[in-house]
């Protein structure tokens, strides 16, 4: 209370403040004296040095872009390399009249309007003292023609650069992906310092996912340049550090077999080593030539690719959504066993159709006259729909959804390639959340045979099959097997660290389901009997046929009268050997008709290639 | 006859000083500022590639800024003290608004778009902080008690933190120092100041020990940009060449090669000092620095003559902050200090900071010219 009324002693306060003011003034003068000393050092003592730097020549700092890491398949075959090309480049601040220079260059080298407009865009992004590419991949004649006229174009020069090349062309368009010119969006996310002098950046596939490993670290050199901007001498340099080389799990031979076996069909084949999660083949068709993207694809060419109804740019392996059809049945069967809804030996009667209690809608089996009494093994081997309608009804959609969750249906597999799709494994909650609709019991039935809302990607199918093959050990698919830092002799393995085991009550359940899948291939009534012929081991598999076109209750599906794009999708999953799995394959053939006729033979080719089986038996198509 | 003329002259000069007093203009300060602005225009003409459009735009800004200065000079310092909290609160609200609705320019959120014009709320805070801290401390006897000191630090820290988050480190540093200078002038004990400085010095190695490698690298590049020649270091290398090649007497106006070959980046804005050094040499920049000191000296004189502790503290802070501005910019351009984007006051191209700076000088003029009216 007392202090509130303390009178301020103005005299004492002003003396106090004035003292501090004087102190501050003296300090300021001292600080400025330091600045003056600094200026004396720069302008008097080091004058000679700086004068020589500024007057006659100018100091330029040039980035030295690192060499991008190479990509190999598992056999050491090169999938992505760097080849030397010549590109025409300009340093804008050294060009007196950019407009005129461009006009004259157009006459000399036949630049297109596209070239010029793209150059203008790049020009705006770069600082005036940085090199900007006018045109990449000059031919030798163009190089010669420009060299003869070089004196006319100060600030413009030919630069030898390495650019990305994909010697396998179409074959790895989706898996390895491609690099392209760095665009505005890329600029936001990269460390711009480190990309000085780099023209390309990974856009898709391995090239994108492993951009940080592949790119390396930029170096630079300080050079003296004369008035025309030509380098006189190098003052100092710090070398760049090349990116890491990558070694993939992918086997080029398998990749080729898959691609050729798909033929003209659109679709996807994914093969994995279930023990490591290593992706041995990953094909999506149709494909395209990734080399077109490297130095900037022309608008017209890009338009053709983008607008094609077959969507070649779309990576079906990772993003194609397909109903799994009957390939889902082994997983549903396992759910039934595990949750105690059925046993290995319990039987269901299939009259060719199924009705829900209290309804008269007939859910049909693919076999019109029915399978009679079937147990689990028969049901999987002959792909009996009625058995699975009944099983799904007993399980209920939510329990089925929960169980399929364990195998990754409706989830990204975590493969080391970007922009994977999630697929869809329906549940009551999902339907309420996304469609605001109640779940109907009939939808449970068709979900049980992999139709309806179910959507899976080929990589998901392969991943789930791999988990099944390994009796519950699930490993995220991995495309890159190892990397090797520049200058190192040793490779560093990149194991998938995303490994875990599924909890399962009874290990006998795995064997029951796998046995039923062996029956698909080797059983007397299996739907894919031709696959196992002449094989030295047992194969487990499952065919699937996914409806594209809904047919009415009483109509019969007739391939003859339907357009090809309305034909069913053909699916097939398999692994071999059934008892000690080393190889998993999932095949999706768009509009391929039936899984057993179109998809299964592709899997057979893959298994033959992988295990090196050469046999002379004539391939006779089975019914 | 001759006596008549001299009488006439005396009358004229009396009339002039009377007029200046009526307009609340301090003549020495005004002359110094006009001289500085003139030098600024001259250098801008050279640095901007003799672009008259640039000069006209800068002239318009100068006109607006001088107007602001004159308006501020009319306000009685007592009114400023009374409205200090409002001004500060207003500035703080705008800062928060920037954080949520601000416009991004050059990767930082600093601008607030009011439809008809855009401005940086940090400019209001630049004046609000010293005014408020001075008003707050002058409420009670000086030197301030411990808790008033702590509260004062919070008043400074809050806006500085918000601005550093935008991120605009340079402005945050300037605002923090304008407030800290008030604290210093208010007579806090040397022991406290030295303890504070000692703690900072001791904390640095501890902090260093706990930092990740990449954080350490970032700090090192910040402290020594020349290790990053493709980024921040490029500016410094080129700027040093420009300054050094100026020599003792310079290359002459419009003759600087580094700047005219467009080799020096940001030469009309943050790095204009390098152009001056190249064209006018050591002699030129020493004179320029002297002019800065003279202007600040006049400000300190006004502070010494002021009649309330509030006015003393405020005038002192404004004058010394002005010098801090100059030092941070020149230190950056000559490679003495890390690169933070701070323009050379009243010389660099660009308007926002000029209005605030001259408004600050308006406060000095107001303090000086309202003096007699305040005295009993």
Residue A404 maps to a domain: yes
Shortest distance, CA A3 to any CA of chain B (angstroms): 9
Kindly state the average pLDDT of the residues A115-125: 79
CA distances from B11 to B1, B7, B22, B25, B30 (A): 15, 6, 16, 19, 21
Contact flag A47-B143 (C-beta cutoff 8 Å): no
Residue A102 maps to a domain: yes
Residue A300 maps to a domain: no
* Percent of chain B whose predicted confidence (pLDDT) is above 90: 44
Q: Are residues A65 and A104 in the same domain?
A: yes
Place of tokens 């010293």: B130
- Tell me if chain A has a CB within 8 Å of the CB of B328: no
Q: What is the pLDDT of residues A151-194, one digit of tens each?
A: 888 888 888 888 899 999 899 999 999 998 888 788 777 877 78
Contact flag B229-A13 (C-beta cutoff 8 Å): no
The pair of structure tokens assigned to B7 is: 């009488």
Please count the structural domains in chain A. Answer: 3
Pairs across A and B, CB distance < 8 A: 144
Kindly state the average pLDDT of the residues A102-122: 82
Shortest distance, CA A119 to any CA of chain B (angstroms): 21
Residue B197: Cβ within 10 Å count: 10
Q: What is the pLDDT of residues A458-512, one digit of tens each?
A: 999 999 999 999 998 999 999 999 999 888 888 888 876 777 888 776 788 999 9
Round to whole Å and give the CA distance between B131 and B77.
10
Contacts of B185 in chain A (CB under 8 A): 17, 20-21, 24
Q: Are residues A446 and A539 in the same domain?
A: yes
Residue A164 maps to a domain: yes
| Probe site for chain B from A15, A21, A93 (most B CB atoms < 10 A) | A21
Q: What is the CATH number of the domain that holds A125?
A: 3.90.1310.10
Q: What pLDDT was estimated at residue A402?
A: 92
Residue A262: Cβ within 10 Å count: 26
Kindly state the average pLDDT of the residues A354-369: 87
Q: What is the pLDDT of residues A436-459, one digit of tens each?
A: 888 998 899 999 999 989 999 999
Contacts of B336 in chain A (CB under 8 A): 34-35, 38
Contact flag A47-B312 (C-beta cutoff 8 Å): no
Residues 139-158 of A with CB under 8 A from B: none
Q: What is the pLDDT of residues A501-519, one digit of tens each?
A: 887 767 889 999 999 999 9
Q: What is the pLDDT of residues B288-341, one digit of tens each?
A: 999 999 999 999 999 999 989 999 999 999 999 999 999 999 998 998 888 777
Round to whole Å and give the CA distance between A531 and A540.
10
pLDDT at A554 over 50: no
Round to whole Å and give the CA distance between B277 and B256.
9
Contacts of A131 in chain B (CB under 8 A): none
pLDDT at A117 over 90: no
Q: What is the pLDDT of residues A597-608, one digit of tens each?
A: 889 999 999 999
Q: What pLDDT was estimated at residue B53?
A: 85
Shortest distance, CA A517 to any CA of chain B (angstroms): 54
Contact flag A39-B243 (C-beta cutoff 8 Å): yes
Contacts of A31 in chain B (CB under 8 A): 323, 327
Q: What pLDDT was estimated at residue B372?
A: 61
| pLDDT range class, residue B116, cuts 50, 70, 90 | very low
The pair of structure tokens assigned to B344 is: 């050379």
Cβ atoms A338, A502 nearer than 8 A: no
Residue A616 maps to a domain: no
Burial pattern B80-98, b for ≥16 Cβ within 10 A else e, equals: bbebbeebbeebbebbeeb
Shortest distance, CA A520 to any CA of chain B (angstroms): 57
Kindly state the average pLDDT of the residues A34-50: 89
- Tell me if chain B has a CB within 8 Å of the CB of A42: yes
Q: Are residues A474 and A578 in the same domain?
A: yes
Kindly state the average pLDDT of the residues A315-322: 92
Q: What pLDDT was estimated at residue A304?
A: 87
Instruction: List, as one string, the DSSP characters of B7-64.
Output: HHHHHHHHHHHHHHHHTT--HHHHHHHHHHHHHHHHHHHHHTTS-HHHHHHHHHHHHH
Residues 185-204 of A with CB under 8 A from B: 193, 196
Q: What pLDDT was estimated at residue A310?
A: 86
Shortest distance, CA A28 to any CA of chain B (angstroms): 7
| Probe site for chain A from B188, B244, B261 (most A CB atoms < 10 A) | B244
Shortest distance, CA A226 to any CA of chain B (angstroms): 12
pLDDT at B106 over 50: no
- Tell me if chain A has a CB within 8 Å of the CB of B346: no
Q: What pLDDT was estimated at residue A519?
A: 92
- Which runs of consecutive H residues, i.e. helices, occur in chain B? 2-22, 27-47, 52-74, 77-82, 84-101, 121-138, 146-164, 169-185, 190-210, 213-223, 232-246, 257-260, 272-305, 309-333, 352-369, 371-374
- Highest average pLDDT, of A237-241, A373-377, A522-526, comes from A373-377
Chain centroid, CA A57 distance in Å = 49
Q: Are residues A212 and A352 in the same domain?
A: no
Give me the residue spans of the domains in chain B. 36-370
Q: Are residues A37 and A87 in the same domain?
A: no
Contact flag A20-B184 (C-beta cutoff 8 Å): yes
Residues 131-170 of B with CB under 8 A from A: 140-143
Range of the domain at A396: 252-287+316-481+495-552+563-611
Q: What is the pLDDT of residues B23-51, one digit of tens each?
A: 899 999 999 999 999 999 999 998 887 78
| pLDDT range class, residue A236, cuts 50, 70, 90 | confident
Q: Are residues A14 and A111 in the same domain?
A: no
Contacts of B238 in chain A (CB under 8 A): 59
Kindly state the average pLDDT of the residues B264-282: 87
pLDDT at A230 over 90: no
Kindly state the average pLDDT of the residues A232-249: 86
Contact flag A17-B142 (C-beta cutoff 8 Å): yes
Catalytic residue among A268, A326, A425, A596: A326
> What are residue A199's phi and psi, to 5 degrees?
-100, -25
Contacts of A40 in chain B (CB under 8 A): 282
Q: Are residues A346 and A404 in the same domain?
A: yes
pLDDT at A145 over 80: yes
What is the predicted ipTM? 0.89
Q: Are residues A241 and A104 in the same domain?
A: yes
Looking at every residue in chain A, the average pLDDT score rounds to 86
Q: What pLDDT was estimated at residue A94?
A: 75
Q: What pLDDT was estimated at residue B4?
A: 55
| pLDDT range class, residue A623, cuts 50, 70, 90 | very low
Q: What pLDDT was estimated at residue A178?
A: 93
* Percent of chain B whose predicted confidence (pLDDT) is above 70: 85
Contact flag A10-B309 (C-beta cutoff 8 Å): yes
Instruction: Tell me the residue length of chain B.
Output: 376
pLDDT at B191 over 70: yes
Cβ atoms A330, A469 nearer than 8 A: no
Residue B185 has its nearest CB partner, among A20, A46, A54, at A20
pLDDT at B376 over 50: no
Cβ atoms A351, A292 nearer than 8 A: no
Q: What is the pLDDT of residues A183-202, one digit of tens each?
A: 878 877 787 778 887 888 99
Residue A301 maps to a domain: no
Q: What pLDDT was estimated at residue A613?
A: 81
| Probe site for chain A from B143, B177, B182, B245 (most A CB atoms < 10 A) | B245
Residues 277-296 of B with CB under 8 A from A: 277, 281-282, 285-286, 289, 292-293, 296
- Tell me if chain B has a CB within 8 Å of the CB of A387: no
- Tell me if chain A has a CB within 8 Å of the CB of B125: no
Looking at every residue in chain B, the average pLDDT score rounds to 84
Q: What is the pLDDT of residues B220-247, one digit of tens each?
A: 777 776 677 666 677 787 888 888 888 8
| pLDDT range class, residue A131, cuts 50, 70, 90 | confident
Chain centroid, CA A381 distance in Å = 34
Helix (H) or strand (E) holding A225: strand A219-225
Q: What pLDDT was estimated at residue A608?
A: 92
Kindly state the average pLDDT of the residues B55-81: 92
Q: What is the pLDDT of residues A386-397, one digit of tens each?
A: 999 999 999 999
pLDDT at A24 over 90: yes
Q: What pLDDT was estimated at residue A486?
A: 84
Q: What is the CATH number of the domain that holds A579?
A: 3.40.710.10
Q: Are residues A103 and A212 in the same domain?
A: yes
Residue B244 has its nearest CB partner, among A10, A14, A50, at A50
Comparing A464-468, A494-498, B150-154, B255-259, the range with the smallest average pLDDT is B255-259
Question: Residue A546: helix, strand or coil by DSSP?
Answer: strand
Q: Are residues A358 and A380 in the same domain?
A: yes
Cβ atoms B122, B163 nearer than 8 A: yes
Round to whole Å and give the CA distance between B63 and B36.
14
Contacts of B140 in chain A (CB under 8 A): 3, 8
Shortest distance, CA B191 to any CA of chain A (angstroms): 14
Contact flag A32-B320 (C-beta cutoff 8 Å): no
> Is A326 an active-site residue?
yes
With 0-12 CB in 10 A as exposed, 13-18 as middle and 19+ as buried, what is B374?
middle
Give the residue from A219, A248, A277 where a domain finishes.
A248
Q: Are residues A350 and A436 in the same domain?
A: yes
CA distances from A456 to A547, A586, A587, A588, A590 (A): 14, 11, 12, 10, 13
> Is B346 or B1 the better-scoring residue by pLDDT?
B346
> Is B303 or A595 the better-scoring residue by pLDDT?
B303
Residue A55 has its nearest CB partner, among B228, B257, B304, at B257
Residue A310 maps to a domain: no
Q: Are residues A416 and A455 in the same domain?
A: yes
Contacts of B248 in chain A (CB under 8 A): 43-44, 47
Q: What pLDDT was estimated at residue B375?
A: 43
Shortest distance, CA B9 to any CA of chain A (angstroms): 36
Cβ atoms A464, A571 nearer than 8 A: no
pLDDT at B174 over 70: yes
């Amino acid at each position: 209370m007392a202090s509130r009324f303390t009178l301020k002693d103005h005299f004492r306060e002003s003396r106090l403040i004035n003292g501090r003011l004087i102190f501050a003034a003296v300090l300021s003068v001292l600080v400025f004296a330091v600045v003056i000393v600094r200026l004396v050092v720069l302008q008097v003592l080091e004058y000679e040095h700086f004068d020589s730097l500024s007057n006659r020549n100018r100091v330029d700092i040039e980035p030295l872009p690192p060499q991008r890491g190479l990509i190999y398949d598992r056999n050491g075959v090169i999938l992505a390399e760097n080849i030397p090309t010549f590109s025409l480049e300009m340093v804008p601040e050294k060009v007196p009249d950019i407009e005129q220079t461009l006009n004259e260059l157009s006459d000399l080298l036949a630049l297109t309007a596209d070239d010029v407009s793209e150059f203008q865009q790049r020009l705006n992004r770069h600082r005036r003292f940085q090199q900007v590419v006018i045109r990449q991949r000059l031919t030798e004649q163009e190089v010669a023609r420009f060299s003869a006229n070089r004196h006319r174009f100060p600030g413009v020069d030919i630069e030898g650069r390495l650019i990305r090349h994909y010697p396998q062309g179409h074959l790895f368009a989706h898996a390895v992906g491609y690099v392209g010119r760095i665009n505005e969006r890329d600029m936001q996310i990269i460390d711009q310092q480190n990309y000085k002098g780099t023209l390309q950046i990974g856009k898709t596939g391995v090239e994108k996912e492993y951009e940080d490993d592949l790119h390396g670290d930029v170096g630079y050199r300080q050079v003296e340049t004369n008035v025309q901007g030509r380098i006189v001498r190098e003052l100092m340099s710090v070398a760049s550090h090349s990116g890491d080389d990558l070694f993939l799990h992918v086997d080029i031979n398998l990749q080729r077999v898959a691609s050729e076996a798909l033929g003209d069909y659109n679709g996807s084949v994914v093969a994995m080593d279930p023990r490591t999660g290593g992706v041995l083949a990953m094909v999506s068709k149709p494909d395209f030539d990734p080399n077109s993207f490297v130095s900037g694809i022309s608008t017209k060419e890009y338009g053709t690719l983008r607008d094609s109804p077959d969507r070649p740019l779309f990576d079906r392996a990772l993003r194609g959504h397909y109903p799994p059809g009957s390939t889902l049945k082994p997983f549903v069967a396992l759910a039934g066993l595990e949750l105690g809804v059925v046993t290995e030996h319990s039987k269901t009667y299939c009259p060719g159709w199924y009705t829900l209690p209290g309804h008269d809608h007939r859910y049909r089996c693919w076999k019109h006259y029915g399978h009679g009494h079937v147990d689990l093994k028969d049901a999987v081997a002959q792909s009996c729909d009625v058995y699975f309608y009944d099983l799904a009804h007993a399980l209920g959609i939510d329990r089925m959804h929960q169980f399929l969750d364990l195998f990754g249906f409706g989830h990204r597999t975590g493969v080391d390639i970007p922009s994977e799709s999630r697929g869809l494994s329906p549940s009551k909650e999902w339907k309420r959340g996304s469609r605001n609709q109640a779940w109907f019991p009939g939808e449970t039935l068709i979900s049980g045979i992999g139709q309806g809302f179910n959507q899976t990607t080929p990589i998901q199918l392969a991943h789930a099959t791999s988990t099944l093959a390994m009796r519950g050990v699930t490993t995220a698919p991995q495309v890159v097997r190892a990397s090797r830092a520049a200058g190192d002799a040793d490779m560093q393995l990149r194991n998938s660290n995303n490994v875990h085991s599924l909890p399962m009550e009874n290990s006998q359940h795995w064997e029951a389901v796998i046995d039923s899948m062996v029956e698909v291939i080797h059983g007397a009534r299996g739907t894919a009997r031709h696959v196992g012929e002449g094989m030295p081991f047992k194969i487990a598999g499952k065919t699937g046929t996914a409806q594209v076109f809904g047919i009415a209750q009483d109509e019969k599906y007739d391939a003859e009268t339907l357009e090809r794009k309305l034909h069913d999708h053909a699916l097939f999953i398999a692994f071999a050997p059934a008892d000690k799995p080393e190889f998993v394959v999932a095949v999706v053939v768009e509009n391929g008709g039936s899984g057993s006729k179109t998809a299964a033979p592709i899997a057979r080719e893959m298994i033959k290639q992988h295990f090196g089986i050469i046999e002379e038996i004539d391939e006779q198509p089975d019914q | 006859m001759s006596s008549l003329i001299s009488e006439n002259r005396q009358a004229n000069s009396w009339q002039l000083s009377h007029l200046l007093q009526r307009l609340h203009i301090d003549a020495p300060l005004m002359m110094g500022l006009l001289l500085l602005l003139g030098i600024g225009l001259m250098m801008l003409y050279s640095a901007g590639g003799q672009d008259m459009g640039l000069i006209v735009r800068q002239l318009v800004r100068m006109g607006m800024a001088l107007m602001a200065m004159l308006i501020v000079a009319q306000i009685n310092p007592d009114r400023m003290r009374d409205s200090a909290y409002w001004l500060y609160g207003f500035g703080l609200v705008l800062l928060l608004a920037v954080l949520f609705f601000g416009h991004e320019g050059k990767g930082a959120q600093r601008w607030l778009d009011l439809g008809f014009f855009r401005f940086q709320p940090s400019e209001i805070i630049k004046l609000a902080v010293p005014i408020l801290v001075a008003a707050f401390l002058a409420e009670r006897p000086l030197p301030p008690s411990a808790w008033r000191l702590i509260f004062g630090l919070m008043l400074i820290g809050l806006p500085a933190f918000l601005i550093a988050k935008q991120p605009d480190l340079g402005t945050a540093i300037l605002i923090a120092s304008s407030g800290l200078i008030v604290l210093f002038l208010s007579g806090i004990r040397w022991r406290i100041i030295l303890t504070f400085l000692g703690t900072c010095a001791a904390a640095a190695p501890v902090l260093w020990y706990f930092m990740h490698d990449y954080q350490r690298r970032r700090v090192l590049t910040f402290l020594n940009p020349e290790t990053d020649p493709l980024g921040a270091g490029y500016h410094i290398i080129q700027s040093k060449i420009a300054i050094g090649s100026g020599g003792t007497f310079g290359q002459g106006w419009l003759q600087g090669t580094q700047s005219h070959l467009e080799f020096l980046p940001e030469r009309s804005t943050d790095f204009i000092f390098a152009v001056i050094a190249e064209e006018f040499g050591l002699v030129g920049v020493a004179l320029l620095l002297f002019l800065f000191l003279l202007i600040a000296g006049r400000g300190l004189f006004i502070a010494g003559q002021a009649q309330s502790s509030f006015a003393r503290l405020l005038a002192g802070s404004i004058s010394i902050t002005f010098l801090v501005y100059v030092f941070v910019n020149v230190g950056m351009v000559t490679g003495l200090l890390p690169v933070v984007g701070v323009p050379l006051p009243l010389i660099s191209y660009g308007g926002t900071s000029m209005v605030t700076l001259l408004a600050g000088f308006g406060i000095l003029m107001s303090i000086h010219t309202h003096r007699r009216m305040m005295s009993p």
